[in-house]
Chains A and B, each alone.
Chain A
Amino acid sequence: MQDNKMTYESIQTQLVSRAKQLLSEGKVQRVVGWRKGLFDYDVTPSLFTTADDLEKNFVYSEWCGANLSKYLVKETRAIETAKDTVRTNNAMAKAKDPNAPQAAEPMAKVAVFLKPCDTYSFTELLKEHRINRDDVYAIGIPCNGMYESVTDNKTAEQAKQIAERCTVCKNKMHITYDELLCCDDESKATARSFGEKDGRFDMVEKIEALSSDERFAFWQNELSRCIRCNACRDVCPACTCEHCIFDNPKSGASQKVAADSFEENMYHIIRAWHVAGRCVDCGECSRVCPQSIPLHLLNRKFIKDINEIYGPYTSGSDLDTKPPMLNYKAEDAEPSVVYSRDKSPADSTAANGGN
């Protein structure tokens, strides 16, 4: 892909035939992929279980920006629940009668197609034990950058350009997978580069350079459009709480639509804190926001800060490194570093080194 620039169409053909093969060989029972929409741009993440369905409806194109990794939480849980049921039944039967016949555990596996950046959130989810690795057959697939998401055909025609999140893509390397499809030479995959741009933190720096009043005004304007649909949270692969505090009437923080704008802003800030050090910067939050609020910039600010304060760290880049927010070291920066950074950006290195 990196060198010979395969078209999405030809990749799609290979993905379909591989998925069909996996199904027919019984290696997997379900395939998570992307389903054709009414138009080119409205692709839906979807489940496939038959060759016929894959043949007719599976699609891989520049409009497949949706990150499928989070669906594996639900998929693998269903598999584990089915296995647990059989195990429990077997144990109960055995307790009654030591010679009782034991049912076989259901063989179930789900295949998933992951773009390089999707493998970061997949890895992070594995690290947090949200996905049972054994239940997944992960197929790494190439990506040449996805289009900016659009709302209708007219904008689709105008917006056939690589999404911002792809222009600052971390790299084309797949982190965790069972096999790679259409990616011939993995060593070259580290080269980043869909667009010319290298400035992942450019926009963050721009906002940092504002005065605190201007910064407040910037976020006030952006967040004032929020309708609290929760799409950002529900799509986020780092948001996998069993029961979100904002959905729990007993939490005292439950909100459907906030009582006032202050609370509404807090929702996004609390969420950004909660995913700090775990966010893989996939940009799904901003992609799905019906109000086009650049939510990923909040997360990117945290990533930049973590890099500066605790040293470079890329969440989801491996299964072993302890995330800085969960890993106490004696030489960690003191909380005061935040204040000193705020007062005088020039002194921040000194404050960092000094502590």
Chain B
Amino acid sequence: MLKNLTIGQHYPVESPIHSLDPRVKIIITIFFIVSLFLVDNFTTYLVVIVFLAAVIKMSKVPFKFVIRGLRPILMIILITFIINILMTPGKILLKVGFIKITEEGLRQAGFMAIRLTLLIMGTSLLTLTTSPIILTDGIESLLSPFKRFGLPAHELAMMMTIALRFIPTLLDETEKIMKAQKSRGADFESGNLVSRAKNLVPLLVPLFVSAFRRADELAMAMEARCYRGGENRTRMRQLKISKGDYVASVIFTIYFAAVIIIKIW
């Protein structure tokens, strides 16, 4: 399975979650985020955690892959946690100088940290179980009703596809230019931030020039292959809603209803 080896964080295995229609997955993910913001006590989080854990189990994506998605935003979680602890007024538990830790602060901080963690885990599950190209198809299909309000759904999807296609190519090229400039004595590693940024100029200029040249050639090649925008265009792969998608929708609706009912109580 070499599909998307370097692109995105797609984890290619076969599972009931992987084979869901991308549109269903995107909509469920959006409502999952909504459900997280409806939660206002720790007990309800238990429902969310059980649901998410079950989905992760079913997706056959190793747990550590889902956790890995948290790494880039660990700092954000930490900062919100600390700010919440320090800034929330209420019953003071501990006071050191001007730093006050309140009971409400602790509660609020824990709450936000759990919410952010679940949010990232839920959304990264979408990208883990869907290949970028299928995800793009799904987004295009979901956005197409908005075409009549002037939203360029096809163009957006095309841009995403081309971006995904050229990321590895441009990365290769960056590496090549870097080596070429290094061999002429360019220094990308030492110095302070300002001088390092300055040193990037001989890397970025050729990269941009070449990217524009590529864009030019690609446009010509696309036109030579009869590309004329999204009008009257067909797709080889058709998205189809199957039985599994109905089952998933029903299960998710039950979960969503449960969250709402607990909230109203």
Q: Do A and B come from one complex?
A: no
B residues at A contact (CB < 8 Å)? none
A residues at B contact (CB < 8 Å)? none
